[in-house]
């Protein structure tokens, strides 16, 4: 089910699209570090998005309780994926298990030439994503309230991305099924990913994929957090 233009506002725990007044620090600095075009405009939208994410966190189970303290590092991880894709690229892109949009919606804002599909099976999370897209006027993103498997054989994308969507052995074959030849799957994973990659390789190869690289995320030096994520790049043969 495609979702657009939802409005769910109230004081009873339902979705509220209005951003709070508090804003995360150094958003623009993060964008400038990675070379995002028009960083001031993107930073303003991302500050509003992160505020919405925090405000509606409990309603839709969007993030963990400690997200606010780690929001800068989490944002940096997602923008690093945008740099790996190329901020000026014009591609179709699917975010598997989009959750609160911390990867896919950030990419839609930073990679304005990409058409981003946020795949999310949770109705509440999908509702939040649709509300955020409308509030932030993100015209290059849409929400699919569905499991990724339901689009196999129905749609294909130039790129597929995921953030904490499951084990590579389970999610990579699905991602590869949504890609054409030479399409790329980029997974944002925790550090120390080597054992998970080794376990997943037979299934990746069986799905006509090949591991291209696995690298630590380049974290801005002004963030106190050490490298906390890995970027895994897989290509469809």
Tell me the domain boundaries of the chain: 25-236
Give this prediction's pTM. 0.88
Rounded distance between C-alpha atoms, residue 93 and residue 8, angstroms: 27
What percentage of the chain carries pLDDT values higher than 90? 74
So what's the architecture of 25-236 in CATH? 3-Layer(aba) Sandwich (3.40)
| Residues 63-103 pLDDT 10s | 655 566 678 888 999 999 999 999 999 999 999 999 999 99
């Amino acid at each position: 089910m495609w979702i657009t233009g939802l409005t769910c506002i109230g004081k009873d725990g339902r979705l509220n699209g209005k951003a709070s007044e508090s804003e995360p620090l150094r958003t623009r600095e993060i964008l400038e570090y990675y070379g995002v075009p028009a960083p001031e405009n993107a930073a303003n939208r991302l500050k509003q998005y992160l505020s919405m994410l925090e405000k509606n966190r409990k309603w839709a189970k969007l993030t963990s309780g400690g997200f606010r303290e780690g929001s800068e590092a989490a944002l940096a991880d997602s923008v690093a994926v945008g740099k790996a894709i190329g901020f000026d690229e014009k591609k179709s892109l699917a975010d598997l298990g989009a959750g609160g949009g911390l990867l896919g919606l950030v990419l839609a804002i930073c990679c304005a030439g990409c058409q981003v599909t946020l795949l999310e099976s949770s109705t509440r999370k999908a509702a939040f994503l649709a509300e955020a897209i409308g509030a932030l006027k993100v015209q290059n993103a849409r929400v699919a309230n569905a499991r990724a498997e339901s689009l196999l054989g129905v749609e294909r994308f130039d790129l597929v991305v995921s953030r904490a969507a499951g084990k590579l052995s389970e999610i990579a074959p699905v991602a590869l099924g949504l890609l054409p030849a030479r399409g790329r799957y980029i997974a944002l994973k925790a550090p120390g990913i080597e054992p998970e990659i080794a376990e997943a390789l037979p299934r990746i190869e069986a799905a006509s994929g090949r591991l291209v690289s696995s690298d630590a995320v380049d974290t801005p030096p002004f963030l106190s957090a050490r490298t906390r994520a890995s970027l895994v790049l897989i290509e469809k043969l």
